[in-house]
Amino acid sequence: MHVGLRTKVLTALTLVVLVGVFLVYLTTTGLQSSFLRQDRLAQAEFIARIVTTSVASYDLSDSKNRDLVFADLTEALGAHGLFLLGSDGLPAASVEKARLGMYLPEASIQLLAEQASNPPFSGYVNVAGGESIAVITAMPQEEDTAASRLLMLLPAERLSLSDFHSDKVIVLFALVLLALVVLIGYLMLTRIIVEPVRRLTREVERLRPDPSGRHDVNSPQRDPGDEVAQLYASFNRLLARLRDYQADTEIKIRDLRSMNRQLETTQETLVRTEKLASVGVLTAGIAHEIGNPISVSLGYLEMLKRGDCTAEEVALFVDQIDQSTRRVSSIIRDLLDFSRASPKEDDPFPRCDAVEVVERTLKLLAPQKRFKSITVQRHFEAPQPFVAIDDGRLEQVVLNLLLNAADSMQGHGAVHIHIKDNGANFVTLAVQDEGCGIARRDLLRIFDPFFTTKGPGVGTGLGLAITHQIVTAFGGRVDVESEVNKGTTFFLQLKRAA
């Protein structure tokens, strides 16, 4: 039959209370009886001493006078009687022996005689009327006579227990027994409830999976229907479910890691694609800048080939050819520097000068036809604008923003570039144009891949998406403010380099 934990606890507490009450009852009853008997003996001895002193003041040689005195004292005390004993402890006269024999058997008289040799003596004896107290005292006289001892038989019920002493002792023992009952209850509850719970707690705290991945907690040898054993079983079932969840989670984590790697690869591909697209735009834009110096160089070479030039003309032509060639070389070198991957892209602690990157980007855009009629206003307020981003990536971001600004203004207007330390561990780099602006409905989508407001075949729709991805990857933020027909401002919040 299943016995629940609650039933066990109630049964244990009931047994503890019943045992406690029974022990208290037995102890207090026994103590009360013991104290009653001891107190009655003490009272009887006190009375006997007073009676002995009183009797000694009378002339007991006259039997009539003695009988009268003893009768009065016996009646006043409610005693069975007063008896004179000899030094051997036996009645001093046959009359005394006969009268004593009315209350005590011969065996009891002999036992009292043995105790009378060393008075005073008090003890309980059984008489015909019930239990009585016998007290033997020595008569106060100078030498032994035929009657040297006095025996008083007093009914025990004539004397009562002193409440002052017995009550305190009983209360004390009751408190001791109550403490004992509480201790037993504490030990039983500890064994039934507290210790199993503590054991479960210890098992949980030191929980470690074994090589098979199991986390089971060993249940104590208990009744399977016991709630504590059920708790252990439920906990192990919970651990089994957790193992299943853990296995599923690990599979999902592996899948997520694989997807993240694919996403990173895709992002890198998009960044490279956008960079190559920017290179294509730049290449198309510098065809005129490269063509003019080459044409000049070819013209001077034709004149040199005729051979009719003076020494001064030859020197002038060679110098012009050299300048034109260096111009072309500089344009091509800047374009190649931008197109190749940055050697610091994997640096865990990237650091670059924002002003230097902006100047390098402006130099790269200077040959572009679309920038010929654009004025660039620099507003550099940060004294040391070092930011935590790869310089190659920042150059690509600034290039995208400047190209968009040029397209927005259709090659005419002013671009304002602001670099400011905002004092909150960030450096703000803002690019402001005076172009056509962006419609409010498009502002929420401008960072979506492949979204563009330009015409077909103009732009890939990846520029701003890549810009946003690069800045956020380095812990920054991109904000935009725009008003139609008034211009657009992009704010790059870049983390300050350590």
Residue 317 in domain: no
* 129-to-36, 78, 200, 203 alpha-carbon distances in Å: 19, 13, 68, 72
Residue 158 in domain: yes
Could you list the pLDDT tens digit for every one of the 498 residues in the chain?
Answer: 555 555 666 677 777 777 777 776 777 677 667 777 787 888 888 888 888 888 777 777 777 777 788 888 888 888 888 888 877 777 777 777 777 778 888 777 787 777 777 778 878 888 766 788 888 888 776 444 556 788 888 887 777 655 445 556 666 766 777 777 777 777 777 777 777 777 777 766 766 555 555 555 454 445 555 666 777 777 778 878 888 888 888 899 988 988 888 877 776 776 666 666 666 666 655 565 566 677 767 777 877 787 777 888 778 778 778 777 777 776 676 666 555 545 445 567 788 999 999 998 898 888 777 788 899 999 998 666 789 998 888 988 998 899 889 988 988 899 999 999 887 789 999 999 999 999 888 888 888 877 777 766 566 677 788 888 889 989 999 999 999 989 999 999 999 887
Residue 25 in domain: yes
Rounded distance between C-alpha atoms, residue 378 and residue 9, angstroms = 84
With beta carbons less than 8 A apart as the criterion, state whether 434 and 409 touch. yes
Last residue of one domain, picked from the residues 139, 164, 189: 164
Q: What is the total count of domains within the chain?
A: 2
Residue 496 in domain: yes
Residue 345 is classified by DSSP as T
Residue 156 is classified by DSSP as G
Rounded distance between C-alpha atoms, residue 136 and residue 49, angstroms = 9
| Segment (H or E) for 71 | helix 63-77
Residue 443 in domain: yes
Q: Domain with 395 in it: what CATH number?
A: 3.30.565.10
Q: From 123, 127, 101, 128, select the one nearest 112 (Cα to Cα).
A: 123
Residue type, 182: V
Q: Domain with 35 in it: what CATH number?
A: 3.30.450
Last residue of one domain, picked from the residues 136, 164, 192: 164
What pTM did the predictor assign?
0.45
Identify the domain containing residue 21 by its residue range.
5-164
Rounded distance between C-alpha atoms, residue 275 and residue 277, angstroms = 5
Q: Which long-range contacts (CB under 8 A, 24 or more apart) does 46-53 make?
A: 47/77, 47/135, 47/152, 47/154, 48/120, 48/122, 48/135, 48/136, 48/137, 48/150, 48/152, 49/120, 49/137, 51/77, 51/82, 51/150, 51/152, 52/137, 52/138, 52/139, 52/140, 52/150, 53/140
> What pLDDT, on a 0 to 100 scale, did the predictor assign at position 385?
75
Residue 111 in domain: yes
Residue 272 in domain: no
Q: Which long-range contacts (CB under 8 A, 24 or more apart) does 441-445 make?
A: 443/480, 443/482
Last residue of one domain, picked from the residues 134, 164, 194: 164
Rounded distance between C-alpha atoms, residue 400 and residue 406, angstroms = 10
Residue 246 in domain: no
